[in-house]
Chain A
Amino acid sequence: MTVPGVLGILVFTAFLVVMAKPMGLYLYAVYDRRKTWFDPAIRPVERVIYRWTGVNEDHEMRWTEYFIALLAFNLVGFIVLYIALRIQGALPFNPMHMKDVGPHLAFNTGVSFTTNTNWQAYGGESTMSYASQAMLMMQQFLSPISGLAMVLAFIRGLTRKNANTLGNFWVDLVRTLLWVSLPMAFIGAIVLVGLGNPQNWGTYVTAHTLQGGIQTIAQGPVGMMNSIMQLGDNGGGFFNMNAGHPYETATAASLMFQMVLGFSIPVGLTYYFGKVVKDTRQGWTILGAMLVMFLGGTLVLYHAEALGNPILNHLVGIHGPNMEGKEVRFGPALSSLFESSTTAVSWGSTAAANDSLMPIGGLITLWQMMSGEVIIGAWGVGLLGMLAFAVLAVFLAGLMVGRTPEYLGKKIGSYEVKMAVLAMIVPTFVILGFSAWAVTSHGGLAGIYNPGPHGLSEVLYAYSSGVGNNGSAFGGLDAAAPFYTWTVGLAMLFGRFAMYIPALAIAGSLVQKQSVPESAGTFPTHGFLFGGLLIATVVIVGALVFFPALSLGPLAEHFALWSGHLFGGGGA
């Protein structure tokens, strides 16, 4: 590790803290219907949309109605996308004459983009027409909003008293789209184009290289798509190579800006949360717990990468950091930060090959996803997961103050515990269950390119990424094989819906409860003590269950590597 590297990571983290408040205040203004600069331009549009669609702005929904609206919205999005991909060849805007997408891949991709996972079992520039890319882009716009809407509803459940309803999904959707997604993506795209992204609808360029070879240079509306996917924490890159591609990320500055975009909403939401519950310390504590875990993970990852590969060092005499799979223009520190962020914030685009990270680096990326994507996490769902952990932490330790546990004045009863446990069970079952299936079935084994612990890491990574709706890939796995397109597809669905039904159910139950006013006898859910407790809960209850699996994957590989042992063979 170098001093500038560590300093850079620290400064970036500090910047996230600074960014939280203005972002949070803006979100608060949007959802609390206060004045914003955009109102004169956007408010009329909003009204027109409601009139056309017949949405009653003042209609309030119970949690079930809210969830059904959300589900219907996602289902329609999936079906439209699936069909569009299957008949891609017959649709316009296909200058490169891309063929129809097969059923397995279309299912996987459809699920992937509607669940804001954006796991790509395909190479974008070699599979998708511009029309399809535009459809995908549309989902990249819309799918994060579902996640954000869920946390809006959840927070309403915490703050409203003796009520039944959690808001109106369509209103949350429209307001997010008009006030948050569109303006921010637009600004982001302009900046990214300024930082070197192409933005056009032309055919790919064929270039004759100096050596006399022929090279096809893919291009397209990259700036726009890049801005949308980073802002929405989607990560479905335009190019298969994703953020490492020079057209997606020309410079380190561009990469930094993409990170800022990715962090902006999730970080702002924590402040928004504090603002809504009328105690900003609550929001800061959540953000603090998230950032401590993020910073810890990032520094460990950077340390592992900076230390490099001991075998290369010993046998070949290559000293210095592990540069395999990294862009020289980013270097180990920035690459580490970006890869840590992509798994933490769940945007899933990669600027380096995660498969080539040192085992400990791979371990960090895995653990950030296995935690349930609560270390920052994507739009809304990261905060939602963290709040579910807070409910659990309150219940585990809250009894210790001698009162029925309560979170923000709401008593946590057996129903809430049942639902929180359900939400917690999903990632464990899906990741461990599917991974166990993959490493024992013919279909699963056939797609694993590396033997030994690294192969296991690849499998674990795929399902962690799926269930966490992360979308980043470790690589080294035949993601397009039907076994993986279907199982990862299911993991994505479970990760999104099976986890958030219970979360909304908790909100639906809490909203009906009276709130107990705070007193000296109230369990404090802010401050360092609770932050520490929250971290301990995430680590012990959320992540340690993966310890046995991880010890056979990255940990085994790490210790073997440092004792000079390799697992040979394979390779794609």
Chain B
Amino acid sequence: MAAQPLNPQGTVGIPLTRAIGDAFRKLNPRWMMHNPVMFVVEVGSVFTTLDAVRLLIEGKAGLFNFTLQIAIWLWLTVLFANFAEAIAEGRGRAQAQALRSTRTDTMASKIGADGTLTKVAGTELRKGDRVMIAAGEIVPSDGIIIEGAASIDESAITGESAPVIRAAGGDTNTVTGGTRVLSDQITVEITANPGETFLDRMISLIEGAARQKTPNEIALAILLAGLTLIFVVVVLTIEPFAVFSGNTVSVTILIALLVCLIPTTIGGLMSAIGISGMNRLLKKNVLAMSGRAIEAAGDVNVILLDKTGTLTIGNRMATEFIPMEGVDERELGEMALLSSLSDETPEGRSIVALARDRFGFETTERDLVGANFHEFSAQTQMSGIDMDSRQIRKGSSKAVPAFVEECGGTVPTKQLDEVVTRIGKLGGTPLVVAEGRRTLGVIYLKDVVKPGISERLSSLRAAGIRTVMITGDNPITAETIAKEVGVDEFLAQATPETKLGYIQKEQAEGYLVGMVGDGTNDAPALAQADVAVAMNSGTQAAREAGNMVDLDSNPTKLLDIVEIGKQILITRGAMTTFSVANDVAKYFAIIPAMFVVVFPGLQALNVMHLTSPESAVLSAVIFNAIIIPLLIPLALRGVRYKPVGAATILRNNLFIYGLGGLVLPFVGIKLIDLLVTALHLVSLHA
């Protein structure tokens, strides 16, 4: 079950006013320096504003009007970009706020060296301290249960309201600070110092999302800065060329051209894309330790998936009754039912369900008055029931025949072996059923593939990602299941060492490996994998080895993570391509406007037939500004990702964002020009 999103109101609950306020606060040049592209726009805005003031003082009303409007739109360009960033940050902040409110100043009962309890503040607890937590109390910090078991409400962290059982020993011994003990009493050894707890890290990660740039972001930022530098030189050299040609170009128009040419669209939206990607992951209840990990997820070529729990439903289910010769299938079914009515294991329940389903039995546990139930144990390898002098048993293909022989019966060895071997080869588990001296037949227990898994795996294959099933089964069994599930490869009889070795081998060949794990024995492999998702329900060791934690502990989440990782990269690439392709139209809007006075022939380049030089420049600047807020929803949502081959994605996205980026501004600038003309915003004389 997917849990509730961390913060349900997170998507709509950001106060818009706050984001607008932030947009202005971010105008501080020290902040703007982080983003060279937008910094250049801000400097340009300052210059045009000063120019407008100068024109006002000199009393040149017409030029002042034009310059002022350009200045306003340039400021808006900067503000729009800041606004986009502020909105994305606001979402993260809201989520962090929700988390912070759960971190209360709990008092904890610390166990002293002599065993006495002292009340201390939860924030004072350090690694190695032991605390006693009773029902109704809040767990003061992260730790491991060393004594007792309790049901715990983890909704503060996971949003999942159903309580979970945590107990000392085994793989479910961890407790997280901020969760609430519902029943019983536990002794916990604290494993985190103040400020390093899971909750602390979570909050700082969400809030700090904007600060850490991923490798791809850094590379893109360099490219954008380089392009900006080139365009600065292009625009700076226009003036000398113009002077040589007997023309002068106003500073305002030069700045307008510069702002239009530098990649403001992607420059303005880049951080919003990254932050919102992190937020989308959080909404899926996955906590990434860094943005780098999310992007690496998009790059993953190989995914290691545990068979049990990920690909198949955790337990094997009865799917078929195979009677021995001379035995009625219905009788076999009935005996299997009787032997399982008191069997609370999932296998037992599946046998009951199958028998009822197939033969319509209505017997219930209440009908077994006076019966004696034998529970399954590792020694006996079988379970069953004694009633009315009948001894019904079901169990392993060794134990049950032995039981039959013990009772004095003969086992149809040949036929039984045949059936047992066949089931084994198919990856199933055979359970032999006997009643006293008679061997009745075999129940076929089978791994059941989770619904929809095959489709997901084949879509991963289409996206060029190989899936590998990890299982402790023998190779023959593993192969059968692998075929049924549709994974590309399998790793049978997996141990921590073979898993680690497998990952290292793949990495040596140049592949990036993703993996999900929960147990302590997964930790080495998780630490080695490029993208390692640890289950929140998993051990402390697994959680520390992973670079992501899935709060829902849903092993198929890795597939979502991969998609989100890809989506972030695609969105960034699409906006970059769009931004660069936009330049063509802007050249054609502004260049003729710049020089038409001295070379009237250049009017031929005014392919959009914009009304006047002033309206052309203003329209280009307006288009350049408003495209940013128009694309904010896309930046926050991400470009849709369909798991198909790269060639198809490239073709589609190049068509939409490349060709679209080429054509759209021609249309947009023309429309804006029509509006500017209709409203007489600037001089309409050529």
Contacts and interface: CB of A to CB of B under 8 A. Distances in A.
A521 B587 contact: no
Contacts of B566: 402-403
Contacts of A552: 241-242, 244-245, 247, 595, 599
Interface stretch (A344-352, A391-399, A465-473): A391-399
A519 B464 contact: yes
Shortest 4 CB-CB contacts between residues of A and residues of B: A521-B464, A559-B601, A399-B573, A402-B566
Query: Which one of B241, B247, B584, B658 has the highest number of Cβ atoms from chain A below 10 Å of its Cβ?
Result: B241
B654 A548 contact: no
A278 interface: no
Interface stretch (A135-143, A408-416, A488-496): A408-416
B244 A400 contact: no
Contact of B298 (A404, A428, A536, A559): A404
A417 B216 CA distance: 10
A121 B230 CA distance: 30
Contact of B584 (A409, A516, A520, A540): A540
Contacts of B511: 516-517
Interface residues of A, number: 68
A540 B657 CA distance: 15
Interface of A: 161, 392, 395-404, 409, 412-414, 416-418, 421-422, 424-425, 428-429, 432-433, 435-437, 439-440, 452-453, 455-456, 514-517, 519-524, 527, 529, 533, 536, 540-541, 544-549, 551-552, 555-556, 558-560, 562-563, 565
Interface stretch (B388-396, B473-481, B644-652, B663-671): B644-652
A413 B215 contact: yes
A560 to B, nearest CB: 5
B218 interface: yes
Interface in B571-593: 572-574, 576-577, 580-581, 583-584, 587, 591-592
B223 A521 contact: no
Query: Which one of A395, A397, A402, A555 has the highest number of Cβ atoms from chain B below 10 Å of its Cβ?
Result: A402
Given A396-B580, A515-B510, A521-B464, A432 B569 contact: no
Contact of B222 (A414, A439, A565): A414
Interface string B536-578: 0000000000000000000000000000011101101110110
Contact of A521 (B237, B301, B509, B584): B301
B462 interface: yes
A142 B113 CA distance: 84
Contact of B233 (A392, A395, A428): A428
B226 A565 contact: no
Nearest to A515: B510
Interface string B223-260: 10011011101111110111111010000000001000
27 contacts: A396-B580, A399-B216, A399-B576, A400-B573, A400-B574, A400-B577, A400-B649, A401-B653, A402-B570, A402-B641, A402-B649, A421-B222, A422-B226, A429-B230, A436-B236, A436-B237, A436-B240, A439-B240, A456-B244, A456-B245, A516-B301, A517-B511, A519-B466, A521-B465, A529-B654, A549-B238, A565-B601
Contacts of A523: 646, 650
B577 A397 contact: yes
Interface residues of B, number: 78
A443 to B, nearest CB: 14
B135 interface: no
B237 A432 contact: yes
Contacts of B219: 395, 412-414, 416-418
Interface in B621-661: 641, 645-647, 649-651, 653-654, 657-658
Nearest to B235: A548
Given A401-B570, A404-B299, A548-B591, 15 more contacts: A395-B220, A395-B223, A396-B223, A397-B577, A401-B573, A402-B570, A404-B298, A435-B241, A516-B512, A521-B645, A544-B587, A548-B238, A552-B595, A559-B599, A559-B601
Given A396-B580, A428-B233, A522-B464, A440 B243 contact: yes
Nearest to A399: B573
Contacts of A529: 647, 650-651, 654
Contacts of A402: 298, 463, 565-567, 569-570, 641, 646, 649
A437 B237 CA distance: 9
A557 B510 CA distance: 55
Contacts of A418: 219, 222, 226
Given A403-B298, A421-B223, A517-B510, A560 B653 contact: no
